[in-house]
Amino acid sequence: WQGGINYTLSRVQGNYGGLASSDEAGRVSPNVERYFDYWFMPYKANGEELGGPLPHDRTHYIKAYGSYVFPFGLTVGMTAYARSGYPLSTRINLCNAYMWPNGYGDLGRLPWNIWADVYVEYTLRFAGKYGVGINLQVNNITNTKSITGKVFDLNRVG
């Protein structure tokens, strides 16, 4: 048998979401973002510099796993995951560019995501030294439905 637990504590803060531009739903072309195209973009509504937890920040990530091999060749295993939700932010669309008037993360976070995967394998042995494995992996066996985002955009229509 084997088992273990991993825990990651991390913070992603600042005013620049990186080459993939996590503020703009992730771009596929690096360095094609709009972070500093307008004078107001790097500031909050009160004039302070923009900052806080960036949209792809996950503060806590936990993974627990285990498996057991039975003497007759059957292996069963499970992995469970838990991670904190993404930060939520108020966003205003000005001149087709976004501004975060209260900084990043002003609306709290999405709920935690928790799910599990299972694995089963049976190994057929033949000729004393050969084996063939037949396996099945079922992801999200808990049928967890996670909230991946909420839109809090303030727009002027017209």
**CA triple 75-81-84, angle to 5 deg:** 175
Domain boundaries, the chain: 2-154
Q: pLDDT digits over 20-45, tens only?
A: 666 666 566 776 666 677 778 888 99
The region, left, alpha or beta by phi > 0 then psi within -120 to 50, assigned to residue 60 is: beta
Query: Which pLDDT does position 91 carry in this prediction?
Result: 86
Decide if pLDDT at 71 tops 80: yes
- N-to-C CA span, the chain: 64
